[in-house]
Amino acid sequence: MTTKIATETVPYELVSGLEIHVQLNTKSKIFSSDSATFGAQPNENISAVSLALPGALPKLNKEVVAKAIRIGLALNCEINQYNFFDRKNYFYADLPKGYQITQDNSPICKNGYLTVTLANGDEKRIGINRIHLEEDAGKSLHDQDSKYSYVDLNRAGVPLIEIVTEPDIRTAEEASALLTEIRQLVRHLNVSDGNMEEGSLRCDANISIRKIGETAFGTRCEVKNLNSIRNVRRAMEFEFGRQIEVIENGGSIIQSTLNFDADKGTTSPMRTKEEANDYRYFPDPDLQPISISDEWLAEIKSAIPALPKEIAKQLIAEFGINTSEANMLAEDIDLYQYFNEAKTTVNNQKSLINWLLGAIRGLLNEQNIGIKEFSASPKQLATLINLVDDKKISQQNALQQLLPAISANTDVLAKANELNLLIVENADEISSYIEEVFAKYESQVQAYKNGKKGVLGLFVGEVMKLAKGKADAKKVNELIIERLK
């Protein structure tokens, strides 16, 4: 815990397991061809299946299964090659069927784990109990009208997976490290956009406490629908304190479902916990069991790209960059793909890394865009970097003038030429600039000769100005020193 009381004065430890709902980024829904994309007008993405009209039958989207298997393998799970769907029965206005199609006793993946690295360098292995497939429900809108609630069924039938961890989490930091890594993995594997603000990744945190040294678990409470990693941490820290207080005051924890109030940072009861048998789970008779052949499983396995941790390791070995640099590149799949494409054109790959993690990252942050929206293609950027490395254009001109002038079909070299940015290899011209600067700064030249070497920078700067940046600063520097001897 980050709360000091946890380790110093209070003899309790936190125990937590997370249920992480991940919206898969398939084009269509799990049991129909309705679009599964975010941001449509209310009830635009619906058909007989989403509306649950009588007689409408579900048909499984194969891509959903493939994506669940991909993340399952990355989380070191066993894949249940024979699994099936159940009905979870409950009534709610945004659930027109009266049941949610989900997996109860036969999840598609089970018995996995993920090892996360904590701030102090320690590694922590967190078990994954299971991953099951399910459909999302619709959405009730209570704030659109003063008298009525509206129902939007766009989300009904959008594919979800639920990743359920073992109660192995002991601190809020471990929970946040786990979520950060899972978000990265689903993005990396093109399983989900992992966007917590848009609800593509949501988390319920089950939290209990026990006296340090005890082996039995305490009674848990489940905090529902946490929509940011920060709120997961806050909810855990609050619950830890609250439960300790209840126990210390002689009370006991009642198993319940809680809401988290993000403004106040507190939890409040939503309902007491329902039992699994309240839902009357039974296998859905409308759907065939899923049978995953060895061949298909092997095919999916072989198509899984290297994972961020492996990529980072390889980048460190190949380019001698440090861990945080390697992670920056390995953890952003779009940036890494851009790097791989640019790599084939650029002459100096280390230089490409420096550009991407330095100047280009800065630009992207400034414009608040990802590398995918960047105006220069990998090939164009590589060409520009080559021009700089070959001393055909100054770094500054490349960044400030050439880069902003690049768009989709720009020929980079032609553009540099057109903008008159190419360095003139004309020593006479540079010499005449040097003369000009010396004439202007006579007293400084004298000062230099008297030992005040610091004025050298001034001369170089002035010459570069006269050359409009189209000179190699290092060479100018050498020429000036030569001349002042």
- Which residues sit at the interface with ligand ADP, rule CB under 6 A? 15-19, 164-167, 206-208, 217-218, 220
Closer CB to ligand ADP, residue 36 or residue 178? 178
**Backbone angles phi and psi of 339, in degrees to 5:** -55, -45
Q: Give the Cα separation of 179 and 15 in Å (integer).
A: 16
User: Please, which residue, 127 or 305, has the CB nearer to ligand ADP?
Assistant: 127
Nearer to ligand ADP, 132 or 183 (CB): 132
Report the nearest approach of ligand ADP to the CB of residue 13 (Å): 11
DSSP for 123-175?
Answer: EEEEEEEEEEEEE---EEE-SS-SS--EEE-TTTT-EEEEEEE-S-B-SHHHH
Task: Please say which residue, 82 or 217, places its beta carbon nearer to ligand ADP.
Answer: 217
Residue placing its CB nearer to ligand ADP in the complex, 223 or 329: 223
Tokens of residue 27, six digits: 């084009």
Tokens describing residue 183: 């978000």
Distance CA 415, CA 405 (A): 8
Which contacts of 330-333 are long-range, i.e. CB under 8 A and separated by 24 or more positions? 331/184, 331/188, 332/371, 333/187, 333/188, 333/190
- Of all residues in this chain, which one has the CB nearest to ligand ADP in the complex? 17
Residues 484 and 449: beta-carbon distance below 8 Å: yes
CB of 19 to ligand ADP, least distance (A): 5
Minimum CB distance to ligand ADP smaller for 61 or for 231: 231
Nearer to ligand ADP, 22 or 406 (CB): 22
Q: Are 226 and 239 in contact (CB under 8 A)?
A: no
**Least distance (Å) between residue 168 CB and ligand ADP:** 7
Q: Which residues contact 126 (CB under 8 A, 6 or more apart)?
A: 113, 114, 115, 116, 165, 166, 168, 169, 174, 178
Question: Alpha-carbon distance 51 to 95, whole Å?
Answer: 9
Q: Give me the least distance between CB of 130 and ligand ADP, in Å please.
A: 8
Q: How far is the CB of 217 from ligand ADP (least distance, A)?
A: 3
Nearest of 283, 288, 290, 301 to residue 77 by alpha carbon: 301
Q: What does DSSP say about strands 159-165 and 12-23: parallel, antiparallel, or unpaired? A: antiparallel
Shortest distance in whole angstroms from residue 140 CB to ligand ADP: 22
Closest to ligand ADP by CB, 77 or 371:
77
Min. distance of Cβ 67 from ligand ADP in angstroms?
Answer: 21
Closest approach of ligand ADP to the CB of residue 131, in Å? 12
Residue 262, both tokens: 């993000």
